Amino acid sequence: DTEVTQTPKHLVMGMTNKKSLKCEQHMGHRAMYWYKQKAKKPPELMFVYSYEKLSINESVPSRFSPECPNSSLLNLHLHALQPEDSALYLCASSRYSGDGDEKLFFGSGTQLSVL
């Protein structure tokens, strides 16, 4: 199984809502990532979990809250978002073997619209 599964595929939320994005992988990977991608732009790194601990936070606003309940699951909790947060949110995983040859495996993303 080389899949990263993201749910939901589409999400529309108001600025006062609380929602969560979910990501799951069963490849035994020990690093998991959240990227944000605006239209016609490259993916922008948000968070990295390594061995279930938050290792990288790219100065993301606190209205985005990541969580890694176990080695297979990654969540992104959303609260009080702004319309400019509308984007494709991508989850990825990698082995994190320490050899340097990391390869990212991506899910198909959640297309988020904030009204």
Partner 1 sequence: LAKTTQPISMDSYEGQEVNITCSHNNIATNDYITWYQQFPSQGPRFIIQGYKTKVTNEVASLFIPADRKSSTLSLPRVSLSDTAVYYCLVGPGPYGNKLVFGAGTILRVKS
Stretch that binds partner 1, among 11-19, 40-48, 65-73, 77-85 (CB under 8 A): 40-48
Q: Which amino acid is at 101?
A: D
- Residues in contact with partner 1, counted by CB under 8 A, come to a total of 29
Residue 97 exposed, middle or buried by CB count within 10 Å (0-12, 13-18, 19+): exposed
| CA 24 from centroid of its chain's CA atoms | 10
Bond before 8 cis per omega within 30 degrees: yes
Encoded one letter per residue, x for contact with partner 1 by CB under 8 A and - for no contact, window 2-21 reads: --x-----------------
Looking at 13, 27, 45, 73, which residue binds partner 1 (CB under 8 A)? 45
* Distance separating alpha carbons of residues 112 and 110, to the nearest angstrom: 6
Q: Does 98 bind partner 1 (CB under 8 A)?
A: yes
Binding site residues, partner 1, CB under 8 A: 4, 31, 33, 35, 42-45, 48, 50, 55-56, 88, 90, 92, 94, 96, 98, 100-109, 111
